[in-house]
Amino acid sequence: MQSPLTESIPYLVFKTPAQASLLENSTLKANSGAFFDYAVSSQQAQPNGTSTALDLVPNARYAQQNPHPSNIVTAFDATVSSHGRLVYMDQMFAIGDPRTSSFAKSVEPARYLVEYQKRRFAGDRGGQAFGYATCHWIRKCDLPNERLGSPCSSTLSGVFYAGFCFSSDTGTLECGHTTAMDDEYGERPIAVKRTTYRCPTGSPAKSLGSFISKRLLIAGCMVSSDMSFDPLAEVHVPAYCTAPVDYFKGCLLPGATNYDPRARQDGRCLFQTKGCTSSTALNYNSEATIDDPDFSCIQPKRGCTVNSAAYASVDSSTPGYQSGFYGHALRGVVAYHEYHGPTVLNYDDSANVNRGCLLAIEGCMDSTAVNYDSRATTNSGSWCIPRIPGCMMPTETNANAGYLNPSAVSTSHHMLSRQPDGLNANFSIGTTFHDPAYCVVARYGCGASGAPTQYPGYAQSIAATNYDPTVTVETICYWPRPGCLNPAALNFGCENRDYATPCSSNHNVTVHSPIACVYSWDDVSLPATPPSPALPPARSDEALVTTYVIVVAFTVGGNLDYFTQDVREAALDAFKIAIKAAALNITLTVTSGSVNLEYTFRTVDEAESNAFERNVSTGLGSTAESAQASLGDAIGVQMLSGASLTRRTVLSYSTTGATFATSPRTSKSADGIVIGAVCGGGGALIVLGALLYIRYRYADSGQRCCYWRLADPRKRYPVSTPVVGVAARVHPEPA
């Protein structure tokens, strides 16, 4: 419909678009940024004005593009206060109060006449939504600045006529005014004389005379009691009223099934429509009048319409497709896997109304498991964890990186002892249920493995030096292992004299044995031993006797109690086996100071003594390690030193016919050093390892006192040391 004829411009009147918003005063803007069909011009794109490019041009943006609809002037409206009363192509205005009005108007484009004539409900196609108007032509609107809606006038045959510029049926701009109107039936003729009305768009008036043409229905306020009542209005638009109210609202279109010829205000129209007419169907169309054979009614079937398969019917290009992963927890590791479990438990592919889906809640459904979930409805994976009690407190090595084990704290007065232990000594990787009763505090040290036991070199059972019966985590035990613990020694920390440099802690020396130490001064040569005193002249009844005494000494770990008679005999046999001299007469002396073993062999046969020395060197070697292998292991002791061999040559006179004893008599001095003596005839032989010069008197009748010199006792001599001669003279005891 068109705006009232009193307005100079032929505006189209329509419902305000939902996207429209107020720009200024009553000017509206489409918020969607696109032109409506009624607000475009053929000047903008294709000749028929239907180019889709028009939809991309935002409106109400002046001076931005040329030719832009916001820059193209289409009409002149004296009631418009902005832009010099010019109306642009893309402008639309609210009717009445823009805050409450639901109607708007925009300039009727020239091309609308073509569309108007095509529609069956109006124009020449037999419609009834139109009327007639008589236009009196005045002149052409060809003066400068004359536009659609501009006031115009002229004097014809001495009579002055006033009108408005309008668009003719050929699109020319003409000047004229309406003199009469009638409805579509010719039943309501009206002559217009006192008020100047515009001519309808598309009138054939282009020369002198009056011309009748069809026109759009006229909008206005049809409530006679309203101050804005318009007697020419044919369609009631509440926004034109001073007090907007409805007036005979109904369907105005004759082609509709609910057409109301009495209606004066546009209402809802219904047409013959195909569709489902069953009110119980899902696709029921309340406006349908004819059942559509191609689209039958769909009756509801209720059920779960959610597919149980995850990502069912989802395109693989969809963002996040198959991104459902879950973390499958193992102790200390979380492995991520793609989830393939169901989404629902009761999917019904025949259902079309979603009702009653049972969600698939993954979880352990075994009530005996530690991770039982009472809300779980499915167990598509191995979710259940068996109940295995144990202590879940970790060991120190499994604890968090920031964990610090308690240690001793020093104060200015004394040492406060915190528990210097670890966390749990009873940790099990398979534990799934924590039970504090299973926890054992980790106390590190020497426990059961260091308990009292039979140890080499000791007669009674002994414990490790760091034995602690409260230990729960075994680390290392330290047994009474003798060696050198003097920091001044060259072989500090070593268990024997085989080393010339300090030993690392893996030797585990715990008991200091002075004999095992090697010092820098041990290599300093001692002063030469003075020669033995000369023997007195031989008597006629005396003969010179040469005796070779060889002592092989060792220092071993342990204590004297270990060397019982049986162990001594075993040690003597092992020594003979080592040097391959089972038949020789060898004696063993065991003394303290760690434990000293001295094997003594005496012979008057020099060749036999030399062979003995060679056998000792070959069978026992010169180091503690070789002595351990050949002798120490056999008697169950630790060798602290290698074999130390001392050879002594004793010269004496023997009375002719006297017999030389083969076994010495022994006595023990106050400091525990064993003294051996061999006497034969009128002479005697004493073996001593602690004095340089000794005089010993025997009370036996017929013996004479013997004097001799021994090797320097301050220095040990290995097997390779040259023998030391010792001279002895048997003579009457001096007064």
The three-class DSSP label of residue 570 is helix
Phi, psi of 619 (to 5 degrees): -80, -30
> In sequence order, what are the beta bridge partners of 660?
680
> In sequence order, what are the beta bridge partners of 621?
none
The three-class DSSP label of residue 656 is coil
Locate 354 and state its tokens. Answer: 């979603």
pLDDT, mean of residues 599-613: 86
> In sequence order, what are the beta bridge partners of 305?
none
Contact 82, 143 (CB under 8 A): no
- What local confidence, expressed as pLDDT, does residue 603 receive? 86
In whole angstroms, give the CA distance from residue 642 to residue 285. 116
Domain total of the chain: 4
The three-class DSSP label of residue 615 is helix
Residues 6+ apart with CB under 8 A from 616: 550, 552, 579, 643, 645, 719
In whole angstroms, give the CA distance from residue 529 to residue 709. 9
Q: Is it the case that residue 351 has pLDDT exceeding 90?
A: yes
Closest by Cα among 278, 273, 247 to 258: 273
- What local confidence, expressed as pLDDT, does residue 436 receive? 86
Contact 192, 180 (CB under 8 A): yes
Locate 195 and state its tokens. Answer: 């008020």
Closest by Cα among 639, 646, 645 to 624: 639
- What local confidence, expressed as pLDDT, does residue 678 receive? 31
Identify which has the larger pLDDT, 542 or 45.
Answer: 542
In whole angstroms, give the CA distance from residue 30 to residue 50. 18
pLDDT, mean of residues 248-261: 90
Q: Is it the case that residue 178 has pLDDT exceeding 70?
A: yes
- What local confidence, expressed as pLDDT, does residue 3 receive? 94
* Count of C-beta atoms within a 10 Å radius of residue 513: 24
Tell me the helices (H) and strands (E) count for the chain, helix number first. Answer: 5, 42
- 36 lies in the same domain as 150: no
**pTM of the predicted protein model:** 0.44
Locate 122 and state its tokens. Answer: 């109006």
Residue 441 banded pLDDT, cuts 50, 70, 90 = confident
Q: Is residue 208 part of a domain?
A: yes
The three-class DSSP label of residue 514 is helix
Beta-strand relationship, 595-603 and 542-556: antiparallel
Contact 306, 354 (CB under 8 A): yes
Q: Is residue 689 part of a domain?
A: yes
- 84 lies in the same domain as 148: no
Q: Is residue 370 part of a domain?
A: no
Q: Which of 106-110, 184-188, 471-475, 686-690 has the highest mean pLDDT?
A: 184-188
- 192 lies in the same domain as 137: yes
- What local confidence, expressed as pLDDT, does residue 329 receive? 64
- 450 lies in the same domain as 585: no
pLDDT, mean of residues 19-43: 58
- What local confidence, expressed as pLDDT, does residue 654 receive? 66
Contact 149, 108 (CB under 8 A): no
The residue type found at 413 is: H
Q: Measuring CA to CA, how many Å separate 303 from each of 16, 98, 299, 345?
A: 43, 50, 13, 12
Locate 57 and state its tokens. Answer: 């041009």
Q: Is residue 606 part of a domain?
A: yes
> Token match 């459904």: residue?
365
Q: By mean pLDDT, which of 34-43, 495-504, 624-633, 676-685 is the weakest?
A: 676-685
Q: Is residue 348 part of a domain?
A: no
Locate 730 and state its tokens. Answer: 């048997």
Q: Is it the case that residue 346 has pLDDT exceeding 50?
A: yes
Beta-strand relationship, 511-512 and 482-483: parallel
- Helix ranges, 473-623 (H): 565-579, 606-620
In whole angstroms, give the CA distance from residue 615 to residue 609. 10
Q: Which of 142-151, 564-573, 717-726 has the highest mean pLDDT?
A: 142-151
In whole angstroms, give the CA distance from residue 251 to residue 287. 14
- What local confidence, expressed as pLDDT, does residue 109 receive? 67
Contact 45, 67 (CB under 8 A): no
Domain boundary among 109, 142, 171: 109
- 54 lies in the same domain as 120: no
Beta-strand relationship, 705-709 and 693-696: antiparallel
CA atoms in the 13 A half-sphere facing the CB of 190: 17
- What local confidence, expressed as pLDDT, does residue 406 receive? 58
Contact 474, 464 (CB under 8 A): no
The three-class DSSP label of residue 505 is helix
- What local confidence, expressed as pLDDT, does residue 413 receive? 38
Report CA 342 to chain centroid distance, whole Å. Answer: 28
Q: Measuring CA to CA, how many Å separate 204 from each of 12, 169, 185?
A: 20, 5, 21
- What local confidence, expressed as pLDDT, does residue 367 receive? 92
Residue 597 banded pLDDT, cuts 50, 70, 90 = confident
- What local confidence, expressed as pLDDT, does residue 606 receive? 84
Beta-strand relationship, 173-183 and 190-191: antiparallel
Q: Is it the case that residue 719 has pLDDT exceeding 70?
A: no
pLDDT, tens digit, 9 for 90 and up, residues 86-103: 988 778 889 988 888 889
User: Is the torsion defined by CA of 547, 553, 559, 564 positive or negative?
Assistant: negative
- 555 lies in the same domain as 463: no
Rounded percentage of the chain residues whose pLDDT exceeds 90? 27
Q: Is it the case that residue 239 has pLDDT exceeding 90?
A: yes
Q: Is residue 70 part of a domain?
A: yes
Closest by Cα among 546, 502, 525 to 721: 525
pLDDT, mean of residues 528-540: 63
Residue 732 banded pLDDT, cuts 50, 70, 90 = very low
* Count of C-beta atoms within a 10 Å radius of residue 360: 21
- 139 lies in the same domain as 86: no
Contact 492, 484 (CB under 8 A): yes
Residue 482 banded pLDDT, cuts 50, 70, 90 = confident
- What local confidence, expressed as pLDDT, does residue 245 receive? 95
The residue type found at 553 is: A
Q: Is it the case that residue 228 has pLDDT exceeding 70?
A: yes
In whole angstroms, give the CA distance from residue 661 to residue 703. 13
In whole angstroms, give the CA distance from residue 716 to residue 710. 13
Domain residues for the domain of 34 are 11-109
Q: Is residue 177 part of a domain?
A: yes
- 547 lies in the same domain as 691: yes
- 599 lies in the same domain as 716: yes
Domain boundary among 109, 132, 151: 109
- What local confidence, expressed as pLDDT, does residue 116 receive? 60
- 548 lies in the same domain as 627: yes
- What local confidence, expressed as pLDDT, does residue 619 receive? 86
Residue 159 banded pLDDT, cuts 50, 70, 90 = very high
The three-class DSSP label of residue 674 is strand
Identify which has the larger pLDDT, 167 or 706.
Answer: 167
Average pLDDT, the chain: 77
Contact 212, 134 (CB under 8 A): yes
Residue 126 banded pLDDT, cuts 50, 70, 90 = low
The three-class DSSP label of residue 636 is coil
What is the distance in angstroms between the CA of the first residue and the CA of the last residue of the chain? Answer: 171
pLDDT, mean of residues 108-112: 65
> Token match 């689209």: residue?
295
Q: Is it the case that residue 189 has pLDDT exceeding 70?
A: yes
In whole angstroms, give the CA distance from residue 388 to residue 610. 75
pLDDT, mean of residues 45-54: 42
CA atoms in the 13 A half-sphere facing the CB of 124: 6
Residues 6+ apart with CB under 8 A from 142: 173
The three-class DSSP label of residue 682 is coil
- 50 lies in the same domain as 193: no
Region of residue 123 (phi > 0: left; psi between -120 and 50: alpha; otherwise: beta): left
Phi, psi of 181 (to 5 degrees): -140, 160
Domain boundary among 109, 130, 165: 109
Q: Is it the case that residue 235 has pLDDT exceeding 70?
A: yes
> In sequence order, what are the beta bridge partners of 94?
104
Secondary element (H or E) of residue 114? helix 112-118
- 100 lies in the same domain as 122: no
Q: Is residue 560 part of a domain?
A: yes
Locate 135 and state its tokens. Answer: 């236009």
> Token match 């100079």: residue?
8
pLDDT, tens digit, 9 for 90 and up, residues 264-292: 999 999 999 999 999 999 999 998 999 99
pLDDT, tens digit, 9 for 90 and up, residues 387-397: 999 888 887 77
Closest by Cα among 422, 371, 368 to 399: 422
Q: By mean pLDDT, which of 114-123, 453-462, 492-501, 712-721 is the weakest?
A: 712-721
